[in-house]
Amino acid sequence: MNEVRVRLIFHDSLGTRERLAALSGARAFAKFGVTCDCAGACDRKALRHVKAGASLGRIVRAENPVVRTEDLRYEPIWEFMLCPKTIYGMGVTPHPLRNGDAMDQVPEGAATGELPHTMGVGLIGAGGVLSVQRMLETKGELGEKAISAAVRHELGHVFLKGEKGRDHGSSHCTDEKCIMQANENYADFLRRFVEPALDFCRGCQGRIGAAVSRIRYGF
Ligand SMILES: [Zn+2]
Ligand SMILES: [Zn+2]
């Protein structure tokens, strides 16, 4: 039986309040049998067993982070030889995050600073990165709840397979009460996801549970 573990990878500057909020988001997966822990982005030893851990650490440590899907899959061959990668990583940065996959949306040769912002990314079978910049500006408990909800959403992508014909094959859900719906921007996310305290719909819960079981029993 394989252990299914998620490791939150924090930027050094993040405080206890943000770390605990992120951890509460990851703990929502305990009901599926997923365990979670935390590490700092500078802790290379803790990144060693994380899928694409070297790139995740680099993104979280960056001053101007850019995330591309291929970074979340990237595993240099020597890394494989070093040790098996079994942990799903979720990086958490206080800086604005840019979407490196959107190169076609900016003029050719444009600086990475012109890439569009993204709140977070989660990739099936790999890991993800989340920017909590906007949450840090959100006063009171709402900011903490937003971090927790965003971690749940991005980790949901790590375990949910996209379905053909649905939202360009993404794993976003169409159930209006589900935390896996697509969101437009941060204000929309607060209003539609965080304030009503959305959770996974029954369908997404079933799919996440099944995906975790497949990983656990290796089929
Ligand atoms: Zn999403
Ligand atoms: Zn759903």
Distance 29 CA to ligand 1 centre (A): 16
Distance 183 CA to ligand 1 centre (A): 7
Q: Write down the pLDDT at residue 165.
A: 53
Question: For the chain, what are the domain ranges?
Answer: 5-161+201-217
Distance 71 CA to ligand 2 centre (A): 27
How crowded is residue 138: how many other Cβ atoms within 10 Å of its Cβ? 17
Assigned token pair, 174: 């169409």
CB burial of 21-33 (b: ≥16 within 10 Å; e: otherwise) equals: bbbbbbbbbeebe
Q: What digits encode the pLDDT tens for the residues 186-211?
A: 999 999 999 999 999 999 999 999 99
Give mean pLDDT, residues 95-115.
Answer: 85
Inform me whether the pLDDT recorded for 29 exceeds 90.
yes
Give mean pLDDT, residues 29-38.
Answer: 97
Global pTM exceeds 0.85:
yes
Inform me whether the pLDDT recorded for 97 exceeds 70.
yes
- DSSP three-state, residue 8: strand
Q: Write down the pLDDT at residue 96.
A: 97
Distance 129 CA to ligand 1 centre (A): 12
No. of H helices and E strands in the chain? 9, 8
Distance 203 CA to ligand 2 centre (A): 6
Inform me whether the pLDDT recorded for 164 exceeds 90.
no
Domain 5-161+201-217 has CATH 3.40.50: no
Inform me whether the pLDDT recorded for 168 exceeds 70.
no
Tell me the percentage of the chain whose pLDDT exceeds 90: 80
> What are the DSSP E strand ranges found in 58-147?
66-67, 88-93, 97-99, 117-118, 120-122, 127-131
Distance 77 CA to ligand 2 centre (A): 36
Question: What is the Cα–Cα distance from 131 to 137, expressed in whole angstroms?
Answer: 12
Give mean pLDDT, residues 86-109.
Answer: 90
Q: pLDDT band at residue 130, thresholds of 50, 70 and 90?
A: very high
Q: What digits encode the pLDDT tens for the residues 172-187?
A: 999 999 999 999 899 9
